[in-house]
Amino acid sequence: MKAAQFTRFGGPEVLELVELPDPHAGAAEIRIRVRAAGINASDWKKRQGLMDQELPQTLGYEAAGIVDEVGAGVRGVSVGDYVFGASPYGAAQAELAVLSDWAPIPSTLDFASSAAIPAAAEAAARALDQLGVVSGSLVLINGASGSIGTAAVQLAVERGARVIGTGSPATHESLRSLGAEPVAYGEGLVDRVRALAPSGVDLALDVAGSGVLPELIELSGAPEHVITVADFLGAQQTGVRFSRGDTGRATYALALVAELAAVCRFSVQVGRTFPLAEIAEAHRVGESGSVRGKLVLLVD
C-alpha cells in the first residue's frame, strides 16, 4: 500500500509517499480501505522531531473508509460497511488503515467530514469528563472555534451546560449557531467574560494554548477548575491539569457523535481537502494557520 512517511526530520519537503506492507486487523480491530484521513498539528510536530525520535515514521491517527477486513472477536461490523475511527498505529494517512475504535458513518456526513471527527471528539469528551461538565455547568472554552473547540462546545451543550466560547469576531456567528455565547480573545478577556457571567464560570477548558491559563483560573476560582489540552508548560507553571490520552481515552465519543450527527445535532467544519499525494502542501497550509476548519487528505 502507499503511505505517507518521512525518514528525516525537517520541513514539509521531507514527506513522501512510499510502498509499505499491507497492515492486517488483529483481534478486536478492523481494517479499512481509507477514503479520507484527518490532519492534526501533532503531525507536523512529529515531522519536526518534537515528539517521537524514531525514524522512519508514518502519520495519521484518524480516518474514514470502507471496511475490508474484520479481526477476531469483532461484532456489529461487516466488510463493506462505511466507518470512521481511530488508529493506534499512527499510520492512517495511507491507502489502508487498522482501526481500534470506530463508528458507522451517518448519512448526514461524507468521508471527509467523518475523518475530521475522531481526534477532536475524543479529546473534547475526555476533557469535559475530567472537568466534570454536567447539566447546569457554566463552562468557558478558550479556543472554541477550532476543531477540538467546536466539538467541546457541541458536546457540552448536549450535556445541558451553558457555554461561553472565545474566538475571533469572524467566528462569533458560527459559535452562536453551535449554542455558545461568543467572546473575543485577547487583552480584556476577563472583563468580557464577566460581562456575560458576573460571578465568573464554574469550569474552564483551554484548547488553544494561547497563554491564558491565569485568566481562566481567575474566572473559575481555582486551578483545579481548569483543564488544558494544549499548554503543557503553562499547566506545570499554574497547577492546571493537562489532559492526555494515556490516562484513559473517551472512545465512546465516536459512537455518540455519530448518533448526534445523524440527527443534525453535531457538525464538523472541513476547511480544505488535499489528495494524499499533496501531503507536503497540506502541512504547509496547516502550519500557516491560513485555513479555518479541519484539513483532510483524500485517498482514491
- What CATH number corresponds to the domain at position 237? 3.90.180.10
pLDDT digits (tens, 9 = 90+) for 84-108: 999 999 999 999 999 999 999 999 9
pLDDT at site 244:
83
Single-letter code of the amino acid located at 167: G
Residue 68 and residue 27 in contact, taking contact as beta carbons nearer than 8 Å: no
Q: What percent of the chain has pLDDT over 90?
A: 93
pLDDT at site 247? 67
Residues 224, 272, single domain; the answer is no
Whether pLDDT at 20 is above 70: yes
Tell me whether residue 15 is in a domain. Answer: yes
Going from the C-alpha of 157 to that of each of 169, 179, 250, the distances in angstroms are 21, 7, 17
The predicted model gives 126-131 an average pLDDT of: 97
The residue range of the domain holding 47 is: 2-117+268-298
Q: Give the Cα separation of 238 and 218 in Å (integer).
A: 11
- Which burial class, exposed, middle or buried, applies to 279 when counting CB atoms under 10 A from its CB (0-12, 13-18, 19+)? buried
**Cα–Cα distance for residue pair 108/249, rounded to 1 Å:** 26
Number of domains comprising the chain: 2
Residue 258 domain-assigned?
Answer: no
Same domain as 189, residue 135? yes
Q: Dump pLDDT digits (tens) for 210-235.
A: 899 999 999 999 999 999 999 999 99
The percent of residues above 70 in pLDDT, for the chain, comes to: 99
Write the pLDDT tens digit of every residue in 31-58.
999 999 999 988 998 999 988 899 999 9
Assess if residue 276 is contained within a domain: yes
C-alpha cell at 38: 484527518
**Averaged pLDDT, 119-143:** 97
Q: pLDDT band for position 248 (50/70/90)?
A: confident
Mean pLDDT in residue range 74-92: 97
Contacts of 185 (CB under 8 A, 6+ apart): 142, 143, 166, 167, 168, 208, 210, 212
- Do 109 and 133 belong together in one domain? no
* Three cell numbers, residue 209: 494554548
Q: If you write DSSP's letter for every residue of 171-184 in order, what string do you get? A: GHHHHHHHT-EEE-
The verdict on residue 170 lying in a domain is yes
- For the CA atoms of 41, 44, 49, 51, the dihedral, rounded to the nearest 10 degrees, stands at 30
Q: Which amino acid is at 2?
A: K
105 and 173 together in one domain: no
**Of 2-16, 155-169, 242-256, which range is least confident?**
242-256
Query: Is residue 207 a part of any domain in this protein?
Result: yes
Q: In the structure grid, which three cell numbers stand for residue 6, read together?
A: 518521512
Secondary structure (DSSP) of 162-223? EEEEE--GGGHHHHHHHT-EEE--STTHHHHHHHH-TT--SEEEE-S-SS-HHHHHHHHSSG
Taking 80 as the threshold, does the pLDDT of residue 246 lie above it? Answer: no
Tell me the whole-structure pTM to 2 decimals: 0.94
**Average predicted confidence (pLDDT) for the chain:** 96
The answer to whether position 286 is within a domain reads: yes
Give the mean pLDDT of 156-167: 98
Query: Which tops the pLDDT comparison, 274 or 300?
Result: 274
161 and 196 fall within a common domain? yes
CB atoms within 10 A of CB 127: 26
Asked whether residue 259 is domain-assigned, the answer is no
At 290 the pLDDT is 86
Residue 6 host element (H or E): strand 2-6
pLDDT at 276 > cutoff 90: yes
Q: How far, CA to CA in Å, does 239 sit from each of 149, 242, 245?
A: 22, 9, 19
| Of 116, 139, 144, 119, residue with least CA distance to 128 | 139
